[in-house]
Amino acid sequence: MLDPDAQPPLAGITVLEVGAFMAAPFATMQLADLGATVLKIEAPGAGDPVRATGPFVEGHSSPFARLNRNKRSVVLDLKSDAGREALLRLAASADVLVENLRPGAMRKLGLDHESVRSAAPHLVYASASGWGQDGPLAPLPGLDIMAQARGGLMSITGTPDGEPTKVGVPICDLVCALYVALAVTAALRERDRTGLGQYIDVSLLEAGVSFAVWEAGRYFATGEVGRPLGSAHQSSAPYQAVRTADGHVTLGAVTPKTWAGLCGVLGLTSLQDDPRYADAFTRHAHREALVAEIEDVTRGWTSAELVRALDGAGVPCAPIADYADVFTDEHLNRRGYFWDAEHPVLGPVRQLGSPMRFSRTPAVQGAAGPLLGEGTADALRAVGYSENEITELTARGSVAPPDARDREDPA
């Protein structure tokens, strides 16, 4: 039962984000959703490059307003001595710093873990990068598609003999971010025992390789290398999309009960006595012949008819939804997954909900992505800067207040 007086799980934790695009911002969004105060450190002028990524509404980036919800924007020029000093003072009173600059960039600024640790030995410092902080690839730029390529994901995605295909979302960026958030929460728990922070190194490459559970099981056992299988499972069948009269339906009948249910629905009970289809692994070895027999029947059904019949028989299945279907889905709406975050210019901004549901302390539903620099003065005041010092730093360009353009009435 939700407790209206309970604080979010990470209430009282302050996180500094020195990030851009995806990995660090998505990681800190998770922490902000859990109640951490996230100060998003941005460069003067343009800020996070995602602010310049469309589509735009009233001149504001729609992706930015979602990816950076529940955060405060603090504009510091980290190339200036005063800007670096401000970050060190913020770090001394913060709990976590998350960055995803190229390895070596924070060291050049004098803001790497070793430099910051002397001012903040309690700080949990996490770096997300393409290839990790050491090793021969470390100096190279690494984007999500490169991590999917080097990490093997593109070798098993798509259809046999098809063009190289990446996963449809930036999966290495996103899972790297989730590992960062998990590692940060674990390091905070360890700090409760020791009082000490530590350094966390998470790469897109290793995050992507960590998905290869089935592929590793096969390769290290038999030496067999995984290949693209379209929508099919790596070792069990039937577990894939099958054709219908008006599209496709995904189904998974890999247990004895669901296999019998599928055969019953489709009128293919004779398949249960076929030794080629004795179990899910054997069926996979004869998958092409099996799926051809299944599709001879399912091509005569509409997707809706097939889903209805399989649901009735307890066979796992689902239609293939596009995102117009997903973003208006009755089940998700009934569960209150989508919610609206307020933005000072755009008004309500529809958000993707947090998948983490807590019985007492729900995820935070606060504001949409912040205006550039809107939290700068408050953050500096909180670590002891006077009004005169803030004014002087602003005049020198070391920090920046909110961009006046962000506050203009769009009307």
How many whole angstroms separate alpha carbon 228 and alpha carbon 162?
8
Say whether 239-323 and 14-210+333-407 share the same fold: no
Residues of the chain with pLDDT under 50: 404-411
pLDDT for the residue 403: 64
How many whole angstroms separate alpha carbon 376 and alpha carbon 386?
13
Active site residue ranges = 173
Fold topology of 239-323 = formyl-coa transferase, domain 3 (3.30.1540)
pLDDT for the residue 58: 95
pLDDT for the residue 408: 42
Fold topology of 14-210+333-407 = Rossmann fold (3.40.50)
How many whole angstroms separate alpha carbon 213 and alpha carbon 238?
19
pLDDT for the residue 410: 36
pLDDT for the residue 407: 42
Question: How confident is the model over 291-330, as pLDDT tens digits?
Answer: 999 999 999 999 999 999 999 999 999 999 999 999 999 9
Residue written as token pair 């979302």: 169
Enumerate the domain spans of the chain: 14-210+333-407, 239-323
pLDDT for the residue 71: 98
- Calculate helix-pair angle for 171-194, 23-33, nearest 10 degrees: 50
pLDDT for the residue 6: 85
**What is the SS3 assignment for the chain?**
CCCCCCCCCCCCCEEEEECCCCHHHHHHHHHHHCCCEEEEEECCCCCCHHHHCCCEECCEEHHHHHHCCCEEEEEECCCCHHHHHHHHHHHHHCCEEEECCCCCHHHHCCCCHHHHHCCCCCCEEEEEECCCCCCCCCCCCCCHHHHHHHCCHHHHCCCCCCCCCCCCCCHHHHHHHHHHHHHHHHHHHHHHHHCCCCEEEEEHHHHHHCCCHHHHHHHHHHCCCCCCCCCCCCCCCCEEEEEECCEEEEEECCCHHHHHHHHHHHCCHHHHHCHHHCCHHHHHHCHHHHHHHHHHHHCCCCHHHHHHHHHHCCCCEEECCCHHHHCCCHHHHHCCCCEEEEECCCEEEEECCCCCCCCCCCCCCCECCCCCCCCHHHHHHHCCCCHHHHHHHHHHCCEECCCHHHHCCCC
pLDDT for the residue 301: 98
Residue 334 dihedral angles phi and psi, to the nearest 5°: -60, -35
CA-to-CA dists, residue 42 to 19, 60, 148, 275, 373, angstroms: 8, 16, 28, 63, 8
